[in-house]
Structure 1
Amino acid sequence: MKITLAAVLSTRSLPEAGGRWFDDYVSRIARYTPCESQAFESEKALLEWIERQQGRTRAYAILFDSRGRQYSSEEFAGQVGRLRDEGTQRVVFAIGPADGWSAAAKQRADLLLSLGLMTLPHQLARVVVAEQVYRAFTILAGHPYHSGH
Structure 2
Amino acid sequence: MNMKTTLAAVLSRRSLPEAGGRWFDDYLNRIVRYTPCDSQTFESEKALIGWLEQHQGRTRAYRILLDSRGQEFSSEEFAGRIGRLRDEGTQRLVFAIGPADGWSPEARQRADLLLSLGRMTLPHQLARVVLAEQVYRAFTILAGHPYHSGH
Do the aligned partners of 1:8 and 1:95 also contact (CA within 8 Å) in 2? Answer: yes
Deviation, 1:55, is 1.2
Give the corresponding residue for 2:95: 93
Give the corresponding residue for 1:104: 106
Give the corresponding residue for 1:13: 15
Give the corresponding residue for 1:64: 66
Rounded to whole Å, the distance in 2 between the matches of 1:132 and 1:119 is: 17
Give the corresponding residue for 2:145: 143
TM-score under structure 1 normalisation? 0.98
Higher mean C-alpha deviation, range 47-56 or range 125-134: 47-56
AA paired with 1:81?
A: G
Give the corresponding residue for 2:35: 33
Do the aligned partners of 1:17 and 1:39 also contact (CA within 8 Å) in 2? Answer: no
Deviation, 1:11, is 1.1
Do the aligned partners of 1:139 and 1:146 also contact (CA within 8 Å) in 2? Answer: yes
Tell me how large the CA RMSD over aligned residues is: 0.7
- Could you list the structure 1 runs, at least 4 aligned residues long, displaced by more than 3 angstroms after superposition: none
Rounded to whole Å, the distance in 2 between the matches of 1:10 and 1:37 is: 15
Give the corresponding residue for 1:116: 118
SS in 1 for 2:94: strand
Higher mean C-alpha deviation, range 62-71 or range 14-23: 14-23
Deviation, 1:74, is 0.3
Ranges in structure 2 where 5+ consecutive residues have no aligned partner: none
Rounded to whole Å, the distance in 2 between the matches of 1:144 and 1:61 is: 28
Rounded to whole Å, the distance in 2 between the matches of 1:36 and 1:16 is: 17
TM-score under structure 2 normalisation? 0.97
Deviation, 1:94, is 0.6
Ranges in structure 1 where 5+ consecutive residues have no aligned partner: none
Give the corresponding residue for 1:80: 82
